[in-house]
A = this chain, B = another copy of it.
Amino acid sequence: MILEKKKAFSEFAANKGLRSTRQRDIILDIFLSTHQHVSVEELYLKVKASHPGIGHATVYRTLKLFAEAGLAREILLHDGQTRYEHVLAGEHHDHLVCTGCNAIIEFEDETIEKLQKEIALRHGFLIRSHKLEIYGLCACCRS
Binding site for B on A (CB under 8 A): 74, 76-78, 96, 98-99, 105, 107, 109, 111-112, 115-116, 119-120, 123-139, 142
- Which residue, of A99, A125, A127, A138, has the highest number of chain B Cβ atoms within 10 A? A125
CB neighbours of A123 from chain B (8 A) = 96, 105, 107, 138-139
A93 → chain B closest CB, angstroms: 11
**How long is the Cα–Cα vector from A116 to B134 in the complex, in angstroms?**
8
Counting from the closest, the 4 A-B pairs by CB-CB distance are A124-B139, A76-B76, A128-B136, A130-B134
Q: Is the CB of A119 within 8 A of B129?
A: no
Q: Is the CB of B119 within 8 A of A138?
A: no
A17 → chain B closest CB, angstroms: 23
**How long is the Cα–Cα vector from A99 to B78 in the complex, in angstroms?**
20
CB neighbours of A125 from chain B (8 A) = 96, 98, 105, 134, 136-139, 142
A129 → chain B closest CB, angstroms: 5
Q: Is the CB of A142 within 8 A of B126?
A: yes
CB neighbours of A142 from chain B (8 A) = 124-126
**How long is the Cα–Cα vector from A69 to B79 in the complex, in angstroms?**
19
Residue on B nearest A74 in the bound complex, by CB: B78
CB neighbours of A78 from chain B (8 A) = 74, 76
Q: Is the CB of A135 within 8 A of B131?
A: yes
Q: Which of B111, B119, B128 contacts A115 (CB 8 A)?
A: B111
